[in-house]
């Protein structure tokens, strides 16, 4: 789902509920707006607000868990990238060509996952052709002793691990937020602001406060949706760990 569009729709719905509630207030008879009625509305909305807070907590937990998992995989991938280069370096000058191809593949992968232009979407699909070339280059090494044989085996294992991590990033790129759950939360929030506007004093200050509160809630939902897209938007995972590793590869 489009984060900005969804947040804009939520903001429009909540602001409209505030305005509609104020309009309905002027249509109701005075006996429908007495103190007892307002207390009843506040009690009922307190229950709905509690349920909305619980569901918002579930959304935050789901999005934050997905974000932290993806970030951990990126850090793990950066560590394996650095270690694979060390293994190839330890193998000796015979692995120089494999290292060159490996560095080129890492640079290309970084450009795909973290494009320089903000509006260009990240491409999490692994470059299978580049991966096959690197794996073939590692397997084509001809070890002359047990040490090089062990290093080649370790390098091949690390290459497979990196391919698995890239595939995991692609598989986990789907949204972790349940759309029915999000729709239900927004519906409850609309009901809450509608009823609050219905019993609020009919003055500009009260309406302004309700509108600010509505925008604040919409902003919270926007941040939740941003967490669910860790490679795009405002709250994106930093490429600094793997960029630092790339600098070491180039040296």
**How many angstroms separate the CA atoms of 205 and 201, rounded?**
9
**How many angstroms separate the CA atoms of 176 and 70, rounded?**
12
pLDDT score of 228 more than 90: no
**Contact indicator for 208, 214 with CB cutoff of 8 Å:** no
**How many angstroms separate the CA atoms of 10 and 179, rounded?**
13
User: For residue 217, what pLDDT is reported?
Assistant: 92
**Contact indicator for 56, 227 with CB cutoff of 8 Å:** no
- CA 124 → CA 113, 151, 235, 247, distances in Å? 6, 29, 17, 22
Q: Is 192 exposed, middle or buried (0-12, 13-18, 19+ CB in 10 A)?
A: buried
Q: 69-94 in b/e burial notation, b at 16+ Cβ within 10 A?
A: ebeebbeebbebbbbbbebbeebeee
**How many angstroms separate the CA atoms of 188 and 105, rounded?**
49
Report residue 173: phi and psi, to 5°. Answer: -75, -10
pLDDT score of 251 more than 80: no
* Range 143-156 average pLDDT: 90
* Range 138-162 average pLDDT: 90
Residue 228: how many CA atoms within 13 Å on its side-chain side? 24
Q: 113-127 in b/e burial notation, b at 16+ Cβ within 10 A?
A: bbeeeeeeebebebe
User: For residue 175, what pLDDT is reported?
Assistant: 82
pLDDT score of 150 more than 90: yes
* Rounded percentage of the chain residues whose pLDDT exceeds 70: 97
* Range 79-102 average pLDDT: 90
* Range 184-188 average pLDDT: 92
pLDDT tens readout for residues 6-61: 889 999 999 999 999 888 888 877 777 778 888 888 888 888 999 999 989 888 99
**How many angstroms separate the CA atoms of 138 and 102, rounded?**
10
Element (H, E) at 185: helix 179-199
User: For residue 1, what pLDDT is reported?
Assistant: 60
How high does pLDDT run on average in the chain? Answer: 87
DSSP string of 73-113, one letter each residue? HHHHHHHHHHHHHHHHHHH-GGGHHHHHHHHHHHHHHHHHH
* Range 133-142 average pLDDT: 89
**How many angstroms separate the CA atoms of 93 and 80, rounded?**
21
pLDDT tens readout for residues 23-34: 888 887 777 777
pTM: 0.81
In this structure, what token pair is assigned to residue 153?
């085996």
């Amino acid at each position: 789902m489009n984060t900005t569009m969804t947040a804009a729709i939520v903001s429009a719905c909540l602001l409209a509920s505030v305005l509609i509630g104020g309009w309905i207030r002027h249509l109701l008879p005075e006996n429908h707006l007495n103190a007892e009625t307002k207390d009843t509305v506040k009690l009922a909305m307190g229950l709905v607000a509690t349920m909305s807070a619980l569901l918002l907590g579930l959304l935050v937990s789901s999005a934050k868990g997905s974000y932290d998992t993806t970030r951990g995989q990126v850090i793990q991938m950066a560590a394996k990238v650095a270690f694979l280069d060390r293994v190839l370096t330890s193998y000796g000058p015979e692995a120089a060509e494999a290292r060159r191809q490996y560095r080129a593949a890492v640079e290309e992968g970084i450009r795909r996952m973290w494009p320089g232009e903000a509006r260009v979407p990240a491409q999490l699909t692994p470059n299978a052709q580049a991966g096959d070339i690197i794996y073939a280059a590692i397997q084509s090494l001809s070890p002359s002793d047990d040490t090089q044989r062990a290093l080649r085996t370790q390098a091949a294992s690390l290459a497979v691990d990196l391919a698995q991590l890239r595939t995991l990033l692609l598989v986990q790129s789907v949204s972790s937020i349940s759309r029915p759950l999000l729709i239900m939360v927004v519906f409850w929030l609309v009901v809450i602001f509608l009823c609050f506007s219905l019993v609020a004093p009919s003055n500009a200050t009260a309406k302004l406060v309700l509108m600010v509160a509505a925008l604040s809630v919409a902003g919270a939902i926007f941040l939740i949706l941003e967490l669910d897209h860790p490679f795009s938007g405002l709250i994106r995972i930093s490429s600094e760990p793997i960029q630092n590793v790339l600098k070491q590869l180039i040296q």
